[in-house]
Amino acid sequence: MKKTFAEKSRNKTFLGMFAVMSATSILFNGCNRKQDKKESEKLIQQEPPVAKAVSKISDENVAPDKRVIYLTFDDGPNQGTENLLRILNKRNVCATAFLVGKHVYGSKKQKYDLDLLRKDPLVELANHSFTHAHNKYTDFYKNPEAVVNDFNIAKDSLKLYDQIARTPGRNIWRLNNITVTDLKSSTEAANRLKQAGYKVIGWDLEWKPTNKMVLKGKHEEMLKKVDSIFFNDLEKTSRHLVFLTHDQYLTDEDSIKELDLFIEKLQKSNRFVFRKISEYPRINEVLN
Task: Calculate mean pLDDT across residues 161-181.
Answer: 97
Per-residue pLDDT reduced to its tens digit, 97-143: 999 999 999 899 999 999 999 999 999 999 999 999 999 999 999 99
pLDDT classification of 87: cutoffs 50, 70, 90: very high
- Averaged pLDDT score across all residues of the chain: 86
One-letter amino acid at 137 equals Y
- Picking from 279, 256, 277, the residue whose alpha carbon sits closest to that of residue 91 is 256
Under the banding of pLDDT at 50, 70 and 90, the label for residue 37 is very low
Region 277-282 average pLDDT = 96
pLDDT on residue 61: 58
Q: Summarize the confidence of residues 30-36 as an average pLDDT.
A: 50
Q: In CATH, what is the architecture of 63-279?
A: Alpha-Beta Barrel (3.20)
Per-residue pLDDT averaged across 196-218, rounded?
98
List of residues 6+ apart from 180 with CB closer than 8 A: 171, 172, 173, 202, 236
Strand residues in the chain grouped as ranges (E): 67-76, 95-99, 123-127, 164-165, 172-174, 179-181, 199-200, 205-206, 240-246, 272-274
Q: What is the pLDDT of residue 287?
A: 83
* Amino acid present at 272: F
Q: What is the pLDDT of residue 219?
A: 98
Question: For position 79, what pLDDT does the model report?
Answer: 94
CA dist., res. 157 & res. 152, Å (int): 8
- Tens of pLDDT, residue by residue over 38-71, are 444 455 455 544 444 433 444 545 788 899 999 9
Q: Tell me the domain boundaries of the chain.
A: 63-279
